[in-house]
């Protein structure tokens, strides 16, 4: 683990290097969770096996021991500071689960990502579908993979040009089908640049 200075306090990164990496996947955690979430663990295993190194990113609010997430602008700024810290000669893919997927979508353009991996993208808060985040999901101009549980209380987005949606059994936690999750991530990353 390495701490990375950001304008909102230190973030922390944990690297998982592929043997001969052709790209780097940065993965952010959900709003109240950490980098040990089962879907992040499965995506990390799939990526490294596919020749893509992984950098798991813990936002400054989590490093400071808080569970309540920081405002979106602070999350994005901290994420981009980490991006600059890890940027090298390899293509970067942004990603994350839930809140982390939102950050990845919002920053993909300015951060120079070649793709975005969304695990359990929170389409809309339960019981308030009018407060959807579809504009965030549509923001990236690079290929997007969304892996979503069929019974996700936050909804399931539709596929769109440049956006593939893989629906697995389970809910927002994506804990029910790690074999299918790994397969979806592996297949998608195999077609990415690098």
43 vs 95: CA distance, rounded Å: 10
pLDDT in tens, 31-44: 988 999 999 999 99
CA–CA gap between residue 35 and residue 30 (Å, rounded): 8
**pTM exceeds 0.85, yes or no:** yes
The count of other CB atoms within 10 Å of the CB of residue 39 is: 27
Q: Count how many domains the chain has.
A: 1
Six-digit token string for 63: 């490093």
For 135-154, how does the pLDDT look when each residue is reduced to its tens digit (9 = 90+)? 999 999 999 999 999 999 99
Residue 192 pLDDT: 63
Give the pLDDT of residue 128: 85
CATH of the domain at 185: 3.40.50.1820
* pLDDT beneath 70, residues of the chain: 192-194
Please give the residue range of the domain that contains residue 65.
Answer: 2-190
Q: Where are the beta strands (DSSP E) in the chain?
A: 2-4, 11-16, 23-28, 52-58, 92-97, 115-119, 144-149, 163-168
């Amino acid at each position: 683990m390495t701490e990375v200075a950001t304008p909102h306090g230190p973030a922390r990164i944990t690297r998982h290097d592929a043997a001969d990496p052709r790209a780097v996947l940065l993965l952010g955690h959900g709003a109240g969770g950490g980098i040990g979430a089962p879907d992040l663990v499965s995506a990390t295993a799939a990526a490294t096996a596919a020749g893509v190194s992984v950098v798991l990113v813990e936002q400054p609010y989590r490093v400071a021991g808080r569970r309540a997430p920081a405002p979106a602008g602070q999350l994005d700024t901290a994420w981009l500071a980490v991006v600059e810290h890890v940027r090298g000669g390899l293509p970067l893919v942004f990603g994350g689960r839930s809140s982390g997927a939102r950050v990845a979508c919002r920053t993909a353009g300015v951060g120079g990502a070649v793709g975005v991996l969304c695990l359990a993208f929170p389409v809309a808060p339960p019981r308030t579908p009018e407060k959807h985040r579809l504009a965030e999901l549509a923001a990236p101009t690079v290929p997007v993979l969304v892996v979503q549980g069929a019974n996700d209380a936050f909804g399931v987005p539709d596929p769109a040009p440049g956006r593939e949606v893989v629906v697995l059994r389970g809910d927002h936690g994506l804990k029910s089908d790690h074999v299918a999750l790994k397969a979806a991530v592996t297949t998608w990353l195999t077609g990415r640049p690098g």
